[in-house]
């Protein structure tokens, strides 16, 4: 019997970020319009494995996901042991644009979740013409905090346990146990302080209040999809953000939370496939 092998290929690309060499792990599957997927804080690109094995997506899109520096199989920069990792709007934006340029992606679609959902708003503000469309999952220009991030990285609390334990409640109770626990496993595998460092962007540096009104969706369409069980970025947060952006489209997803693509892939595809079909446009539909 032939082995069952996922049609996902993983490789490493070398690129300079912040003036320092980086070795970035990325995976891809499918062919067609480039679709770059951005994982959540403290996680990695495995969150998109279901999207990358869905022929309804990969028949039309070249789906790519890269592990942010310090995450997954991407190597932290030399000397990492002497510094505190902190993601910023500038460093995150640079990583995405550098990755797209290094792989010579022509007007990719970018889909990001959580911190990825926040940064697509900045891409829409500052670099809209470079993208065919932008999709923010669990995306808002700002949201209220619900715990103290100091708990995430200290020697007397197990980082894997507390990171996964905290985000566990961001998923919907309807999401099946297997993908829910797989999502948590990825959180348990994050490096020490990395989730906390990502949240520096989410809570401090990446506050986009007062800036999203500049987004011109005629240059680049913007779709915002948020799960009804997400209490970190609530549907109200997304709707408030979209109300400031003429042309932005909002979808509230039933029975999912903060990790739609990994906590309940079957439910998520009901919402994302129609969005991707619209991005493809009538010419490319069969």
Three-state SS for 147? Answer: coil
Which residues fall within 8 angstroms of residue 239, CB to CB, at 6 or more apart?
250, 252
Backbone angles phi, psi at 22, to 5 degrees: -135, 150
Structure tokens belonging to residue 193: 């302080």
Binding residue (CB under 8 A) for another protein from 182, 216, 228, 239 = 228
Alpha helices (runs of H) in 134-259, residue ranges in sequence order? 159-167, 177-188, 194-200, 235-242
Chain residues 230-259 in contact with another protein, contact rule CB under 8 A = 231
Question: Of the ranges 34-42, 149-157, 208-216, 270-278, which one interacts with another protein (CB under 8 A)?
Answer: 149-157
Nearest CA-CA partner of 83 in 98, 66, 70, 67:
70
Applying CB under 8 A, the site for another protein has a residue count of 21
Structure tokens belonging to residue 148: 């103290």
Distance from C-alpha of 239 to C-alpha of 258, rounded to nearest angstrom: 15
140 scored as a contact of another protein (CB under 8 A): no
68 scored as a contact of another protein (CB under 8 A): no
131 scored as a contact of another protein (CB under 8 A): no
Binding residue (CB under 8 A) for another protein from 18, 169, 176, 281 = 169
185 scored as a contact of another protein (CB under 8 A): no
8 Å CB contact between 38 and 112: yes
Distance from C-alpha of 57 to C-alpha of 272, rounded to nearest angstrom: 9
229 scored as a contact of another protein (CB under 8 A): yes
Question: Of the ranges 35-43, 73-81, 117-125, 166-174, which one interacts with another protein (CB under 8 A)?
Answer: 166-174
Question: Least Å distance between CB 263 and another protein?
Answer: 13
170 scored as a contact of another protein (CB under 8 A): yes
- Comparison of 216 and 255: residue with beta carbon closer to another protein: 255
Distance from C-alpha of 105 to C-alpha of 33, rounded to nearest angstrom: 9
Binding residue (CB under 8 A) for another protein from 20, 107, 158, 214 = 158
Question: Least Å distance between CB 181 and another protein?
Answer: 11
Question: Least Å distance between CB 231 and another protein?
Answer: 4
Binding residue (CB under 8 A) for another protein from 157, 204, 243, 266 = 157
Residue showing tokens 């002497």: 82
- Comparison of 134 and 163: residue with beta carbon closer to another protein: 163
Rounded-to-10 torsion of CA 17, 22, 25, 31: 50
Question: Least Å distance between CB 158 and another protein?
Answer: 7
Nearest CA-CA partner of 44 in 10, 7, 20:
10
Which residues bind to another protein, rule: CB under 8 A? 144, 146-147, 151, 156-158, 161-162, 164-166, 168-170, 172-174, 228-229, 231
């Amino acid at each position: 019997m032939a082995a069952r092998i996922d049609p996902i290929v993983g490789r490493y690309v070398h690129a300079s970020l912040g003036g320092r060499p980086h070795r970035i792990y990325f995976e891809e599957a499918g062919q067609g319009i480039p679709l770059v997927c951005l994982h959540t804080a403290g996680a990695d690109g495995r969150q998109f494995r279901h999207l990358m094995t869905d022929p309804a997506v990969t028949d039309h899109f070249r789906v790519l996901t890269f592990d942010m520096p310090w995450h997954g199989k991407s190597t932290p920069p030399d000397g990492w042991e002497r510094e505190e990792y902190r993601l910023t709007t500038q460093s995150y934006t640079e990583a995405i644009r550098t990755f797209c340029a290094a792989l010579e992606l022509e007007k990719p679609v970018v889909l990001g979740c959580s911190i990825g959902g926040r940064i697509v708003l900045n891409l829409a503000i500052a670099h809209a013409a470079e993208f065919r469309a932008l999709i923010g999952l669990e995306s808002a220009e700002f949201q209220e905090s619900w715990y103290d991030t100091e708990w995430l990285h200290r020697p007397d609390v197990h980082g894997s346990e507390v990171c996964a334990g905290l985000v566990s409640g961001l998923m919907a109770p309807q999401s099946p146990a297997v993908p829910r626990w797989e999502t948590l496993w990825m959180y348990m595998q994050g490096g020490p302080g990395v989730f906390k460092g990502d949240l520096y962007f989410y809570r401090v540096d990446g506050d986009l209040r007062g800036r999203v009104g500049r987004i011109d969706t005629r240059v680049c369409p913007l779709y915002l999809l948020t799960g009804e069980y997400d209490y970190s970025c609530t549907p109200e947060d997304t709707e408030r953000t979209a109300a400031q952006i003429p042309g932005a489209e909002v979808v509230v997803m039933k029975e999912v939370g903060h990790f739609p693509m990994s906590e309940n892939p079957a439910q998520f595809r009901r919402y994302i496939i129609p969005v991707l079909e619209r991005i493809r446009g009538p010419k490319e539909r069969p």
